Structure 1
Amino acid sequence: MKSLFDKYEISSYELSSRSYLAPHVTNINRRDRFSQRYISYLKERAINQVGIIVTEYASVTSDDWPYEYAPLAPLLGPSLRGLVDQIHETNAKVIFGLSHSGGQGSSAYSQQVLLGPSPFPETNSRELCTGASHDQINEIINGFCNACKIGLEAGCDGIEINGGQFSLIRQFLSSLTNVRDDEYGSDRLRLLNELTEATRKIMGNRLIGLRLSIDELAAWGGISPENAHEITDQFRDRFDYIAIERGGIYSQSETDPDFHAGILFMADAIKRMPPKVESRPRIVFGGGIYTIEDANFALNELGADLVDLTKVLIADSMFVAKSAKDLAPTPCIACNRGCCVRDSRNPPIYCTVNPRVGNEDTQIKTQIKSVTHRNLMDKPKPRLSIVGGGIAGMHAALEAVGHFDQVTIYEASSHLGGLLAKYSPFHPNYHMQALLSHYIKQINESPIKLLLEYEVDPDELMERQSSLNPIIIASGSQFNTTIPVHCDLGQFDSGPRVISPIELFSKAEELAGKSIVIYDPIGAETAVALADFLILRNISFHFVTTDSIIGTGLSLTNDLVGANHRLLRSGNEVTYEAVSPIVQHDGLHLISSFSSEPISIPCDIIVDASPYRANDIRWRDLNFELIGDAQAPRTLAHATYDAKVAIEGVIEKLYASTNQGGH
């Protein structure tokens, strides 16, 4: 039986495990270099038993500039060498990721015409590419070849060619985008054939991998699991591995979907491929792998040879190393909040459950300062108090362990978790409960002192606080509707009632017979989660949003299209562009921001999906560090990031006070 932790031979290389880190956009590189920040990000994962690491895809020609911080292969020589040298200090193998985005790129940065196999519009920008000439095709092949030479000179163990999402190669392979009337149209595999032959001559016995979309999810044409074997069969002896994915020009958000896609969502596609086990190439399976059990299932039941662990390695760089020791890694919650950053706003990569992502070099400096500080100090020893045991408080406490001689959490309720504990049993994202359980387990197994049902008095804390006894406030938030009520509603049945999302989650069955309105003033994930929750239970509702589509805050999660589709298919009524809500006896009254006409929605229940507000504003007037909802409405990602920054700030202050010779 195969195991993720097996050493694995591929060509002349021995891998430390069957794990694979895929190329992904980070927005922490620059056009002309891999940054030290990015190298530290990769090395943090390489030292923890990852077998293969593929660099962020680099464009092979200067006309291809798909996003602002997309690396350009011809300019990367020196920084690539530095990257390889540092990764080779570990046991991981370094693969140079190479790509050309073709018609799925952007002319905004290069100011050059996009090239594709045939003219087709990019589905998001509607930009139209032109069909590449034979000379231009040869230039692209030469670009790949020159990039191979750069990779060899830098000491890379191989290259990976992008034939998946956002790639010219896939566009040539697909009947959706390749309608040429020349030899590249009659034989859609021709370009890949020519490219493979040319690059193999240069790379010799170094590894060459192919990322391939085996399902473009288009019923009327394109690549599908039933015909993808024609590609894999022909190239099985010419690539050392093929990393499979899904998605095409009309299904970009399906390549890297959020939790709605489920566990092992690529399993169906690979099962639909005609079985030719004895002749198939080595397969890297990715798509919905969140646990070691998922990984081993892919290896043993789906015929994978390597497993793409990118998402879980972002959430916890030590996923492989911890799993090998039967330790629980921090779970990925598949929210896509910070790991899908191919966006014109250029957000740097981050992670809801791991706020150190992309800042690994900063983490090392903080650890050094903390150790230096503790070695210099004699008496007294530093102690940290944290008020609040929600996600921000728990994360701050875990970050602080090892930096302080005592960390104490004061929690007013009888349990940890704050809002996460109230949401997670009902939230459609089933990974939320795994995250809560992980935090609580980590707290219970740590030296953190936990005081439950402990009401803290602000004045008492003021007397305790000193440079060696810092205090962090993570007291959380509570529901406080933003919708004005212009009537005396009296008893429950006398008029509409405004309730919180948590009350709807917990009392949905009681409210099933009533007319429910979900009011979403900010395009938040909460409102979409409420809608999904009610749809799953066949409870009717009316969704009201201030925008022209629902869930605008989901634009980076790859669920914006999916959320709107789910709501429209459910048959529930939606009112768009509605503002200035007022509650009156007969229901919710609003104004159309488009026509300025009044809108009246009769209802019994109004669920206000506005952000919660701080529990106790007294903390604001005192000199304490506020994090999470105690500071301002926060998402899970912002709460964990607040905690990280707060602990680093406290350590910096302690270090500074020690260097000054005072306490």
Structure 2
Amino acid sequence: MTAIDGESAVSAGSPEPAGPALATPLPLRGHIAPSRVLFGPHETNLARRRDISDRHVAYYARRAAGGAGVIVTETASVTADDWPYERAPLAADCGPGWAALAEAVRPYGTVVLAGLGHAGGQGSSAYSQAVLWAPSPVADAASRELPAELEQDGIDAIVAGFAAGASLAVEAGLAGVEIDAGPLALLRQFHSGLTNHRGDGYADRLRLTREVLTAVRAAIGQEKVLALRLSCDELAPWAGVTPEHAAEQVDALAGLGLLDLLVVVRGGPYSTAAYRPTAHTAPTFNRDLCAAIRAAAAGRVAVALQGSVVDADDAEAALADGVADLVEMTRAQIADPELVTKVRAGAAERVRPCLLCNQACRVRDNRNPIVSCVGEPRSGHETEDAPVDGTDPRPRAVLVVGGGPAGLEAARVLASRGHTVTLAEAGEQLGGTLRTSAVGPGRERLARLVDWLEAECARLGVTVELGRTVTAAELDTAEAAGQAVILATGSVAADRDYPATADAFAPQVVDALSLLAAGPDLLVAGPVVVHDPVGGPVAVGIAEWLAAAGREVALVAPDQVAGTLLSLTGDLAPANTRLAQAGVRRELRALVREIGDGHVVLEDVWTGARREIPCAALVDCGHRLPDEALYLARPGTPRAGDCVAPRTALEAVLEGRRRALELARRAPARVSPLAGAGTGGAR
């Protein structure tokens, strides 16, 4: 199928070609989306200021080339005083970027919609230094900031802002717009009894949305697509929008005859993390909700399923079962921009998996990180980094030492470029720390990236040698034979010295990864203390895992809340809820200082006060150390991942790729000692 300016020679009444349902076209008000996969709006931090930048254009164009049927750009604020995060686009500044994007996706026929919204009382005054505006003066559950109640002139300005933004988008060549009434949106705040306490005409909770949709349709005309992202369950049934309320709202809004597409989402002021949760929430969690809303829409509008739709089989099933007309697979296409192309070619097994970890793709925080992906670090960096695929003119023999994610990615990239690669792993399985850590509720999915890397290495002809411990002498032999080397030897447990007050019944001390590898039976009977000086996901996962195995567990952390770094993935509040529900006792603002007869001694990090808690086994979840024995024997050898400094899978995959591309580009030669530890270079 060929498409020009979003229109196709295929008519809306033409039969769809045989093949995967995901890859079949979808008519949308005279436009034909080339597939039924939507790439939804999300924060990216790709703006240069408050625009749609060249980085946005390259990011979206890559997904269009990979087969996305509908793309909704990052939601742009419709008034200048709405500035919810530092690099949030402003519709008035987005015209040139939207125009560049329309031109970039032209060859692919993708239907591109401009995301338009207003954050209302869930925004931020940090950047605008202006009051927040909302339906009623109800403080936000997260920021605790109290907004002012919108008056009629403010409401009129917002309606006008939606219309002006929509007009600008279609003048730029986009196929239409999506209006945001999702978990962080002002329109949803008007819909909800949680935040709309008005006594005037806007006590009719759909009134503002009707005014916005009417104004936007008038601005874009009858030939352009108008979509609505609608929160259909705020997960606060005492006063919020429930699925039953949402069905009534959809019936009313669809009856206006203005809408072409409805994206069904969930979440509200008390449940924003429920919008794009981690793997602790099962994929396609909105299936039943979407099916009910689609029934309420009664064929008057196309309906999209959103909610951790990351696996092609699940997406196909949702379409086949009539749950939705299309599926939003946003994080899945961050992980693999070619998802639809691979499914269309019958190679769904080659789709790089989304781990639902939110580690690199959730970027709405004050560090302003660029959107990316643990498994595909080029995502978000399309303007800076060249594609990995290609064939090098001077193929080489390469030895990669270590079969964790860094070594596997290095081997995969080199083999894909025509090099002859041998991967030596001292253990009996590939995957390193990532596979070992893929244990317990919500963490099993981590192993999918390892499985994918292993399968790709096999497909590309990498020779894998398990149980092979490489020596420094072998490195010398390899170099003498012209074989290049990359070290990815991983990490080792740190030697923790917990002073013992007595030895008779001192607690068993176990390293976290040793426990994960061996299982709960490694621990002696009795209470378990999980010591988490890092504040990351490993200790929380181990505590949940042990509690599920029936153990009495206490989690000791130096912070005011357990797993403090989980705030970056949106899992902080859910994780603490799960710990409480599992019966894990949280010993906060403390560190383990001593071990004694059947107990450990905790020290308050603020006051220095000490106390004892019972302990038969202590699980140490502190930082590990690099396994650098080979590197110290052969300084200057390129290295990647935990053998440089133990961090996360994101850094391991990124550095494995960088070392591979650096090696592929240079002539055979020794490199400087700094080459293995640098942070720059291609992704």
Q: Aligning the two structures, in what range does the TM-score lie when normalised by the shorter sequence?
A: over 0.9
Q: Is 1:110 matched up with 2:121? A: no
1:187-207 Cα distance to aligned partner (Å, 9 max, x none): 111111111111111211200
Q: Is the 8 A contact 2:183 2:234 kept in 1?
A: no
Q: Is the 8 A contact 2:537 2:563 kept in 1?
A: yes
Alignment RMSD, CA only?
2.3
Separation in structure 1 between the aligned mates of residue 57 and residue 291 of structure 2, nearest angstrom: 36
Q: 1:302 to 1:521 in 2, by over 3 A?
A: farther
For 1:647, the aligned partner's letter is A
Q: Is the 8 A contact 1:226 1:273 kept in 2?
A: no
2:494 is matched with 480
Instruction: Classify the secondary structure of the residue corresponding to 1:159.
Output: strand
2:282 is matched with 262
Q: Shift of the alpha carbon at 1:425? A: 5.0
| TM alignment of 1:201-600, pairs within 5 A | 201-204=218-221, 205-236=223-254, 237-270=257-290, 275-276=295-296, 278-327=298-347, 328=349, 329-364=351-386, 374-375=392-393, 381-424=395-438, 426=440, 428-462=442-476, 464-465=478-479, 469-486=483-500, 489=503, 494-505=505-516, 506-509=518-521, 511=523, 513-579=525-591, 581-600=593-612
Instruction: Classify the secondary structure of the residue corresponding to 2:218.
Output: helix
Separation in structure 2 between the aligned mates of residue 365 and residue 633 of structure 1, nearest angstrom: 27
Separation in structure 1 between the aligned mates of residue 365 and residue 80 of structure 2, nearest angstrom: 20
Q: Shift of the alpha carbon at 1:383? A: 3.0
Q: Is the 8 A contact 2:121 2:146 kept in 1?
A: yes
Q: Is the 8 A contact 2:482 2:668 kept in 1?
A: no
Q: Is 1:134 matched up with 2:147? A: no
1:614 is matched with 626
Q: 1:303 to 1:268 in 2, by over 3 A?
A: closer
Q: Is the 8 A contact 1:30 1:71 kept in 2?
A: no
Q: Is 1:178 matched up with 2:196? A: yes
Q: Is the 8 A contact 2:51 2:89 kept in 1?
A: yes
1:198 is matched with 215
Instruction: Give structure 1 stretches of 5+ with no counterpart.
Output: 658-663
Q: Shift of the alpha carbon at 1:479? A: 2.2
Instruction: Classify the secondary structure of the residue corresponding to 1:471.
Output: strand
Q: 1:572 to 1:247 in 2, by over 3 A?
A: same
| TM alignment of 1:48-67, pairs within 5 A | 48-67=66-85
Separation in structure 2 between the aligned mates of residue 75 and residue 455 of structure 1, nearest angstrom: 57
1:376-422 Cα distance to aligned partner (Å, 9 max, x none): x5xxx433321111111001111222335322212122322222333
Separation in structure 1 between the aligned mates of residue 576 and residue 194 of structure 2, nearest angstrom: 25
1:660 is matched with none
1:661 is matched with none
For 2:365, the aligned partner's letter is D
Separation in structure 1 between the aligned mates of residue 602 and residue 93 of structure 2, nearest angstrom: 55
For 1:132, the aligned partner's letter is L
Q: Is 1:124 matched up with 2:135? A: no
Instruction: Give structure 2 stretches of 5+ with no counterpart.
Output: 1-17, 671-683
For 1:572, the aligned partner's letter is V
Separation in structure 1 between the aligned mates of residue 599 and residue 624 of structure 2, nearest angstrom: 23
Overall identity of the aligned pairs, in %? 33
2:99 is matched with 81
Q: State which drifts further: 163-172 or 441-450.
A: 441-450
Q: State which drifts further: 507-516 or 431-440.
A: 507-516
Q: Shift of the alpha carbon at 1:434? A: 2.7
Separation in structure 1 between the aligned mates of residue 404 and residue 353 of structure 2, nearest angstrom: 17
1:188 is matched with 205
Separation in structure 1 between the aligned mates of residue 307 and residue 229 of structure 2, nearest angstrom: 13
Q: How many residues align?
A: 645
2:5 is matched with none
Q: Is the 8 A contact 2:531 2:592 kept in 1?
A: no
Q: State which drifts further: 392-401 or 413-422.
A: 413-422
Q: Shift of the alpha carbon at 1:645? A: 2.3
Separation in structure 2 between the aligned mates of residue 433 and residue 593 of structure 1, nearest angstrom: 36
TM-score by length of 2: 0.90
Runs (4 or more) in structure 1 with deviation over 6 Å come to none
Separation in structure 2 between the aligned mates of residue 191 and residue 184 of structure 1, nearest angstrom: 7
For 1:216, the aligned partner's letter is E
Separation in structure 2 between the aligned mates of residue 228 and residue 520 of structure 1, nearest angstrom: 42
For 2:371, the aligned partner's letter is I
1:593-632 Cα distance to aligned partner (Å, 9 max, x none): 1322112122110000113222343414611122111111
Of 119, 128, 138, the residue aligned with 1:101 is 119
Instruction: Classify the secondary structure of the residue corresponding to 2:423.
Output: strand
1:571-600 Cα distance to aligned partner (Å, 9 max, x none): 332211112522334432221113221121
Q: State which drifts further: 134-143 or 341-350.
A: 341-350
Q: Shift of the alpha carbon at 1:652? A: 4.5
Of 642, 651, 659, the residue aligned with 2:655 is 642
Q: 1:279 to 1:447 in 2, by over 3 A?
A: closer
Q: 1:594 to 1:615 in 2, by over 3 A?
A: same
Q: Is the 8 A contact 2:234 2:266 kept in 1?
A: yes
Q: State which drifts further: 99-108 or 358-367.
A: 358-367
Separation in structure 2 between the aligned mates of residue 178 and residue 656 of structure 1, nearest angstrom: 68
Instruction: Classify the secondary structure of the residue corresponding to 1:67.
Output: coil
Q: Is the 8 A contact 2:556 2:591 kept in 1?
A: no
Q: Is 1:625 matched up with 2:630? A: no
1:400-456 Cα distance to aligned partner (Å, 9 max, x none): 223353222121223222223333355642212333322221121112222222221
Instruction: Classify the secondary structure of the residue corresponding to 1:110.
Output: coil
Q: Is the 8 A contact 1:226 1:274 kept in 2?
A: no
1:85-141 Cα distance to aligned partner (Å, 9 max, x none): 101222211111111111111111111111111112122221111111111111111
Separation in structure 1 between the aligned mates of residue 38 and residue 480 of structure 2, nearest angstrom: 47
1:200-231 Cα distance to aligned partner (Å, 9 max, x none): 11211200000000000002112110110122
Q: Shift of the alpha carbon at 1:483? A: 4.2
Q: Shift of the alpha carbon at 1:458? A: 1.9
Q: Is the 8 A contact 1:366 1:651 kept in 2?
A: no
Q: 1:520 to 1:604 in 2, by over 3 A?
A: same
Separation in structure 2 between the aligned mates of residue 480 and residue 498 of structure 1, nearest angstrom: 12
Instruction: Classify the secondary structure of the residue corresponding to 1:530.
Output: helix
Q: State which drifts further: 25-34 or 522-531.
A: 25-34
For 1:613, the aligned partner's letter is L
Q: 1:208 to 1:527 in 2, by over 3 A?
A: same
Q: Is the 8 A contact 1:512 1:539 kept in 2?
A: no
Separation in structure 2 between the aligned mates of residue 50 and residue 202 of structure 1, nearest angstrom: 26
For 2:438, the aligned partner's letter is S
Q: 1:334 to 1:639 in 2, by over 3 A?
A: same
Q: Shift of the alpha carbon at 1:489? A: 4.3
Instruction: Classify the secondary structure of the residue corresponding to 1:257.
Output: coil
